[in-house]
Amino acid sequence: MDTTKIKKGLGRGLSSLIGETKTEININKVSISDLQSNKFQPRKIFDVDSLQDLTNSIKERGIIQPIIVRKSSSDNSKYEIIAGERRWLAAQKAGLHEVPVVVADVDDLKSLEFAIVENVQRNDLNVIEEARGYHRLIKEFSYDQEKVAQFIGKSRSHIANFLRLLTLPEVVLKLIETKKLSAGHAKVLVGLDNAEFVANKIVEKNLSVRQSENFVKIFKKKKSPIFSKDANLQSLENSIKEKIGLNVLIKNKKNNTGSLVFEYKDLDQLNKIIEVIKSNY
């Protein structure tokens, strides 16, 4: 079978990805019912208004850019979409029976790469879908953050920041996916123990990102630095505790001034401390 590269008109990112990938030289027309959704499609939510605009365009002009597909691994009579799922959905809404396709010979990794690049370059993904796409490259195809960054053409910090969003509670992720919270709001919420509560308050009060940042400051707990106690002081505390049976805390500053604290639980223990001091001084 004759093969060729997919032309640059399909988009610089997709072309460079496909590279030497073998494809059928002709653009074929196949039945809409013979196409299947890409199992690696990172985008799960399609904007209704945008999809309707594309549907109207297809009704007037048809599908200008062919859909990139590969043979289905589960059904040889079907094709799995690699890039162009939105066009396929719009074509169905427009009442088309056939769509133009280019058949590519690619593996699962390439299929995921194509889907991510197509969506990221066209800003079709929300931040959570984009983050999950990156995470899938790392988890299922052994990418590291540096490799994902080079592949997408973004900085490593961009990839790291997106992946951190996936640490948010599922309820918060849903609010971001459904556009009730923006990407800016999401970044404010990362790392909060009470992210779900704060997220709901942001939605309820319709706070801007700046207002949310100020709101979050109320809930962020300041963590006290942890100091390791001198071993000699610790030993001395334990020695006194063994002799009098009470907890003792010695606080010693750099200039060797400080305080000696005895903890007591009732008046009897307090009297015991007083008796010891009086009998020795």
Active site residues: 85
Buried b (16+ CB within 10 A) or exposed e, 172-186: bbebbbeeebbeebb
DSSP alpha helix (H) spans, 122-194: 127-141, 145-152, 156-165, 170-177, 183-189
CB atoms within 10 A of CB 22: 15
Residue 108 dihedral angles phi and psi, to the nearest 5°: -60, -40
Q: What is the Cα–Cα distance from 177 to 106, expressed in whole angstroms?
A: 29
DSSP string, 204-243: HHT--HHHHHHHHHTTPPPPPPP-PPPHHHHHHHHHHHHH
